[in-house]
């Protein structure tokens, strides 16, 4: 990466969000050769070369791989790692390597209101944001709400039973599609939004879908998509835990799922503003539009 053309490294490029971010950057006019698509799976990384991008095999747990991938880069898109409980050291390695390589801007995908929310997912993101602010590298923090795609696995269960069961009460989820969030990444890097400074001057965007839906709304969407009546069965957290235990789930998974539903019931994934639709210049993708092709 010795030329003077600005280079953007995208981590997690073989995952759904990272790959969508690469596509969005190209769609917004970034030359493919100025993008480094980085990921852990060598075979999947190699397949990305058909896009015209440069590629790098990296592992957040192996700093030497990061040093080589980030050399000469101007911007790092740090897509958060998919290893709960181990994100902070992995993210710290990436931030350290970026700083050492002379990267001048890091865009990090965080969680809603990560600095203040009791959301079960927030602590690791809060710690990463703090580490990033302390690094001295200019930062833009994109706090992504829930993804429409997170409900794709629910379709098969509901199609069979006609019941959507959750312990979310009347809590609402302001979800959007992964391509929406990916386009936001591209927008802040191509003039559609403002990038941030270092420390307290880091730019923060709270990103969420335009429409916040509850369990009854979700059942209505599935009724439309599946062509059969779907009802929302609201249960308590204790009841939910017992049902999941009866289905054979382990205690850690049960704790996470029930805890997340409790967070939703408390309004922690409700609408946080219109940053996302403003950044991408259009309404966010409705839940039904994401799930329809999967039916």
Report pLDDT for 142: 98
Band of residue 173 on the pLDDT scale cut at 50, 70, 90: very high
On the question of pLDDT at 3 being above 60, the answer is: no
Contact 268, 111 (CB under 8 A): no
223 and 98 assigned to the same domain: no
What CATH number should be reported for the domain holding residue 155?
3.90.25.10
Would 143 be classed as within a structural domain? yes
Name the least confident of 10-14, 167-171, 189-193: 189-193
Would 201 be classed as within a structural domain? yes
85 and 162 assigned to the same domain: no
Long-range contacts formed by 211-215: CB under 8 A, 24+ apart: 211/174, 211/284, 211/286, 211/287, 212/172, 212/173, 212/174, 212/270, 212/271, 213/172, 213/173, 213/175, 213/287, 214/168, 214/170, 214/171, 214/172, 214/173, 215/164, 215/166, 215/168, 215/169, 215/170
On the question of pLDDT at 272 being above 90, the answer is: no
Contact 208, 174 (CB under 8 A): yes
Report pLDDT for 24: 98
Which of 70, 63, 71 has the alpha carbon at shortest distance from 11? 70
State the residue range of the domain holding 161. 149-173+210-272+286-290
88 and 228 assigned to the same domain: no
Name the least confident of 92-101, 191-200, 215-224: 191-200
Would 2 be classed as within a structural domain? no
106 and 225 assigned to the same domain: no
Would 114 be classed as within a structural domain? yes
Which of 6, 54, 36, 56 has the alpha carbon at shortest distance from 195? 6
Domain total in the chain: 2
On the question of pLDDT at 6 being above 90, the answer is: no
In angstroms, the CA 66 to CA 193 distance is: 27
pLDDT digits over 232-256, tens only? 999 999 999 999 999 999 999 999 9
114 and 157 assigned to the same domain: no
Contact 108, 98 (CB under 8 A): no
110 and 233 assigned to the same domain: no
State the chain's mean pLDDT as an integer: 95
Contact 108, 139 (CB under 8 A): yes
pTM, 2 dp? 0.95
Would 50 be classed as within a structural domain? yes
Would 263 be classed as within a structural domain? yes
Contact 7, 74 (CB under 8 A): yes
């Amino acid at each position: 990466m010795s030329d003077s053309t600005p280079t953007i490294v995208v981590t997690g490029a073989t995952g759904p969000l990272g790959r969508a971010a690469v596509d969005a950057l190209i769609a917004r006019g970034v030359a493919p050769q100025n993008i480094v698509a980085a990921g852990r799976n060598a075979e999947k990384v190699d397949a990305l070369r058909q896009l015209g991008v440069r590629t790098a095999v990296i592992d957040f747990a192996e700093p030497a791989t990061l040093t080589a991938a980030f050399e000469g880069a101007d911007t790092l898109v740090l897509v958060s790692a998919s290893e709960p409980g181990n994100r902070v050291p992995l993210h710290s390695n990436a931030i350290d390597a970026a700083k050492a390589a002379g990267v001048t801007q890091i865009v990090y995908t965080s969680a809603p209101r990560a600095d203040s929310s009791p959301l079960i997912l927030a602590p690791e993101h809060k710690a990463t944001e703090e580490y990033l602010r302390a690094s001295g590298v200019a930062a833009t923090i994109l706090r992504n709400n829930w993804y429409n795609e997170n409900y794709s696995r629910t379709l098969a269960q509901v199609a069979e039973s006609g019941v959507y069961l959750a312990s979310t009460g009347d809590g609402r989820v302001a979800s959007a599609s992964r391509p929406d969030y990916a386009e936001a990444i591209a927008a802040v890097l191509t003039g559609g939004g403002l990038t941030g400074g270092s420390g307290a001057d880091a730019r923060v965007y709270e990103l969420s879908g335009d429409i916040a839906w509850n369990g009854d709304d979700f059942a209505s969407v599935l009724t439309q998509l599946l062509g059969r009546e779907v009802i929302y069965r609201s249960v308590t957290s204790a009841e939910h835990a017992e049902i999941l235990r009866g289905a054979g789930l382990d205690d850690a998974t049960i704790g996470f799922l029930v805890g997340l539903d409790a967070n939703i019931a408390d309004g922690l994934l409700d609408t946080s503003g219109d940053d996302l639709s403003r950044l991408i210049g259009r309404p966010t993708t409705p839940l039904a539009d994401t799930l329809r092709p999967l039916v």
